[in-house]
Amino acid sequence: MSGGSYQQSGVDIDAGNEAVRRIKQLAQGTYTAGVLSGVGSFGGLFALDGSLKDPVLVSSADGVGTKLKLAFMTGIHDTIGADLVNHCVNDILVQGARPLFFLDYLATGRLSPDVAEQIVAGIARACRENGCALLGGETAEMPGFYADGEYDVAGFIVGIVARAGIIDGRDIVRGDRLIALRSSGLHTNGYSLARRIVFEQLRLQPDSVVPELQETVAAALLRTHRSYLRAIAPLVAGGRIKGMAHITGGGITENLPRVLPAGLGFALDRSSWTVPPLFTWLQRAGGVADDEMFRAFNMGVGLILVVAATHADGVLRSLRESGEPAWALGEVTGG
């Protein structure tokens, strides 16, 4: 009887080593001054620079959900990596934090160094754009657990904020104003419903061109989740933001109340923005009710700021001068 091997059981150590070699080069391109260790160590080391008084670390973890199915269908994997980083950056940004470092977890049935390289290339690109070091991660090959050609990916981020600069919404009061920043598309939420409408009900393919959108299904659905760090960082530093809501799963309906103190509600001016064609197309094609659309999708609103009424005009002016098409969305009410 011949002896078995790890490769015969489905785990290719050589492919893993090749993936690590490629990933190492990508990660090194994101290193900031705080990085003390390289890829390959058992743990990543990062030194704080002492620039903040009474610093607080802020962490978050997330994935990209069933948007991965689009990557499997199209063979386009780099946008998934950028989605992952930007989503996590936004999740700590809403508390006033800037990112320090990022770690990723990639699990697959059969490791493809080419696919792994695409995913991590997107992660590295977004890390560089956000001033965040890709400090480490894990690539797990688990045959029999994932279908051929499929994988899952998760991200973990750590950022920093001065204790005095934490944004937690506690000072929000009735009459404060809501300011919206646009999304780039579905971001990373609502894909189970979107895929059902597009691929099951309409029976379209990723390369099908949608006249109303003037682009293919793949282009519309794979558009990268935006990072709001550059647009918002100057306002955070200026102390003019009382609260922020990253509009992810649950839409505006579920996410905005998370930053409001007990007893407060909100009123939106639905005429203040035109819902992007992607959402109106999905709603019409799928016969989806308004309430469900606002719970499943961001509807063109990726981030909401809560500011004092006296600061609203100045914040809007600052955003628009920086090239951000922000608008007055509504106000905080008494619940």
Residue 11's pLDDT band, with cuts at 50, 70 and 90, is: low
> Which pLDDT belongs to residue 7?
57
What would the mean pLDDT of 27-38 be, rounded to a whole number?
88
Residue 13's pLDDT band, with cuts at 50, 70 and 90, is: low
User: CB 321: neighbour CB atoms within 10 A?
Assistant: 8
> Which pLDDT belongs to residue 8?
45
> Which pLDDT belongs to residue 24?
83
The percent of residues above 70 in pLDDT, for the chain, comes to 94
Helix (H), strand (E) at residue 27: helix 13-28
> Which pLDDT belongs to residue 23?
79
Domain 177-333: give its CATH code.
3.90.650.10
Q: Single out the residue of 90, 60, 83 nearest to residue 153, CA to CA.
A: 83
Alpha carbon distance 258, 241 (integer Å): 16
What would the mean pLDDT of 103-109 be, rounded to a whole number?
94
Alpha carbon distance 245, 90 (integer Å): 9
Helix (H), strand (E) at residue 230: helix 229-237
pLDDT digits (tens, 9 = 90+) for 291-303: 999 999 999 999 9
Q: What 3 state SS string does 128-191 have?
A: HHCCCEEEEEEEEECECCECCCCEEEEEEEEEEEEHHHCCCCCCCCCCCEEEEEECCCCCCCCH
Alpha carbon distance 82, 24 (integer Å): 17
Q: What 3 state SS string does 271-319 have?
A: CCCCCCHHHHHHHHHHCCCHHHHHHHCCCCEEEEEEECHHHHHHHHHHH
Q: In the chain, count of helices (H) and strands (E)?
A: 11, 11
How close are the terminal C-alpha atoms of the chain, in Å?
A: 74
> Which pLDDT belongs to residue 335?
63
Query: Strand pairing of 133-141 and 98-108?
Result: parallel
Would the pLDDT of 12 be above 80? no
**Structural contact between residues 192 and 292, judged by C-beta atoms closer than 8 angstroms:** no
What would the mean pLDDT of 202-210 be, rounded to a whole number?
97
Tell the CATH topology of 13-165. Answer: 60s Ribosomal Protein L30; Chain: A; (3.30.1330)
Q: Where are the domains of the chain?
A: 13-165, 177-333
Q: What is the mean pLDDT of the chain?
A: 92
Beta bridge partners of 243: 306
Would the pLDDT of 268 be above 90? yes
Would the pLDDT of 67 be above 90? yes
What would the mean pLDDT of 114-122 be, rounded to a whole number?
94
> Which pLDDT belongs to residue 42?
78
What would the mean pLDDT of 125-129 be, rounded to a whole number?
97
Would the pLDDT of 80 be above 70? yes
Higher per-residue confidence, 163 vs 325? 163
Name the percent of the chain in helix, strand, coil, to the closest 5: 40, 25, 40
Would the pLDDT of 99 be above 90? yes
What would the mean pLDDT of 300-323 be, rounded to a whole number?
96
